[in-house]
Structure 1
Amino acid sequence: MPRKQFDLIVFDWDGTLMDSTATIVRCIQSAARDLGLPVPSDASASHVIGLGLLEAMAAVMPDIEPAMYPRMVERYRYHYLTKDHELVLFKGVREMLSGLKQQGYFLAVATGKSRVGLNRSLNAAGLLSTFDATRCADETFSKPHPAMLQELTRELGQVLRRTVMIGDTTHDLLMAENAGAFGIAVEFGAHPVHQLQACRPLFSAKSIPELHDWLLENA
């Protein structure tokens, strides 16, 4: 039976599959505090989730000396490594990924995490063999540049017009638009719903089970 719309389903990681938004915000704030810098608000810190780490630090603290950004990254990583073993997948993620895999979809991840960070998270979650390909921010251009999706489709022999990007930030949705792919929003992550809606996603899911149901019906 031919698929309705998509052959390749690409997921963001933090705030989309992994319940990590609040932890990332606290780690950004702790990094700033360590260095005696102004501490970003929750809203400011959550807005940069999904970008590569250097890009995120530059975006959340645009007025500090550029030489401080690598130090912010180092302190962020220190704090995050003390917390990442506590993080869990959103309820329903395993069942959704397993179901999509059984139906023969290509599955991929496009994330602002580093390669080392993503591999550690995939291993801890027992999902290393679930995805057909993954792309990280330290391997190519950061979101919302289209490179991650372009590279994933080339690697898997797919086309962008039959690819969908699923994420919790405008960075994810704008990357999909820039690449000529489709975007689906999830409303339980880093960016507020009104910002996600402004990107005109194909669908906006309030939970993983709702996302799974929509994919079963429409993807």
Structure 2
Amino acid sequence: MTKKRFDLIVFDWDGTLMDSTATIAACIQAAAKDLGLAVPSNRQASYVIGLGLQEAMQAALPDLEPRHYPRVVERYRYHYLAKDKGLTLFDGVRDMLADLSQRGYFLAIATGKSRVGLNRALDAANLLSVFDATRCADETFSKPHPAMLQELTRELGQDIERTVMIGDTTHDLQMAINAGAAGIAVHYGAHAVHELEALNPVYSASSVAELHRWLIDNA
């Protein structure tokens, strides 16, 4: 049997496993509109996905006085909580995760979501027992700081050089680079293909099915 290249596979959540990019961007725009602020474009709102919520709002609305960001975050949460129950996993995600787990990989999540938000999403998707460890932006440094991957590898007793981070944003891939892990890009989420490819991921997938096949054959 061919020796595995990776032992730990870490996934981003929004835009990688969950089809939530458009909803998150729309909620950021709605929060800005509620407060009479300049509404960020679709690209601006999508680009900040994957960052911690406070960091995301600061990046999407950079000209706002710092004291106003908590109000923007509150309005974002209001809109998102009204819509998140309608979100679904990308086709093939559930089967991919079950297969990888059966093959003996450690599975983890590194996400810009809050702990409360991730636990709610995992519970709704019936995936709470699938992942060996998870890390959220309100527990440590936000992406692209390497802390999430460093903490996950320590918790699970894994080698960072045998760890791969899979995500749809440059924040994910830059975190992998900063941590010394491998990075895989998916092209169906928040960031443009050319932005992802500029960071030289070891593989790029245009669908969950492609990602699954590559992991089986090469990971």
Q: Secondary structure at the match of 1:79?
A: helix
Superposed CA deviations along residues 2-47 of structure 1, whole A, max 9, x for unmatched, are 6331000000000000000000000000000011100000000000
Does 2:38 match 1:38? yes
Task: Name the aligned partner's letter for residue 52 of structure 1.
Answer: G
Task: Name the aligned partner's letter for residue 187 of structure 1.
Answer: H
Does 2:188 match 1:198? no
Superposed CA deviations along residues 63-122 of structure 1, whole A, max 9, x for unmatched, are 111111111111000000000000000000001000000001000000000000000000
Task: Name the aligned partner's letter for residue 16 of structure 2.
Answer: T
Whole-angstrom distance in 2 between the partners of 1:68 and 1:33: 14
Task: Name the aligned partner's letter for residue 32 of structure 1.
Answer: A
Does 2:127 match 1:127? yes
Where does residue 26 of structure 2 map in the other structure? 26
Where does residue 149 of structure 2 map in the other structure? 149
Q: How does 1:62-81 map to 2 (within 5 A)?
A: 62-81=62-81
Where does residue 13 of structure 2 map in the other structure? 13
Task: Name the aligned partner's letter for residue 31 of structure 1.
Answer: A
Whole-angstrom distance in 1 between the partners of 2:57 and 2:70: 9
Task: Name the aligned partner's letter for residue 196 of structure 2.
Answer: L
Whole-angstrom distance in 2 between the partners of 1:5 and 1:171: 23
Where does residue 94 of structure 2 map in the other structure? 94
Whole-angstrom distance in 2 between the partners of 1:180 and 1:39: 37
Unaligned runs of 5+ in 2: none
Whole-angstrom distance in 2 between the partners of 1:126 and 1:206: 25
Runs ≥4 residues deviating over 2 A: 1-4
Unaligned runs of 5+ in 1: none
Q: Secondary structure at the match of 2:165?
A: strand
Whole-angstrom distance in 2 between the partners of 1:132 and 1:167: 18
Where does residue 159 of structure 2 map in the other structure? 159
Where does residue 209 of structure 1 map in the other structure? 209
Whole-angstrom distance in 1 between the partners of 2:101 and 2:175: 24
Which shows bigger deviation, 60-69 or 111-120? Answer: 60-69
Which shows bigger deviation, 1-10 or 177-186? Answer: 1-10
Whole-angstrom distance in 2 between the partners of 1:136 and 1:106: 18
Q: Secondary structure at the match of 1:204?
A: strand
Whole-angstrom distance in 1 between the partners of 2:202 and 2:3: 17
Q: Secondary structure at the match of 2:204?
A: strand
TM-score for the superposition, normalised by structure 2: 0.99
Where does residue 176 of structure 1 map in the other structure? 176
Q: How does 1:97-116 map to 2 (within 5 A)?
A: 97-116=97-116
Q: Shift of residue 139 of structure 1?
A: 0.1
Superposed CA deviations along residues 152-181 of structure 1, whole A, max 9, x for unmatched, are 000000010000000000000000000000
How many residues align? The count is 219
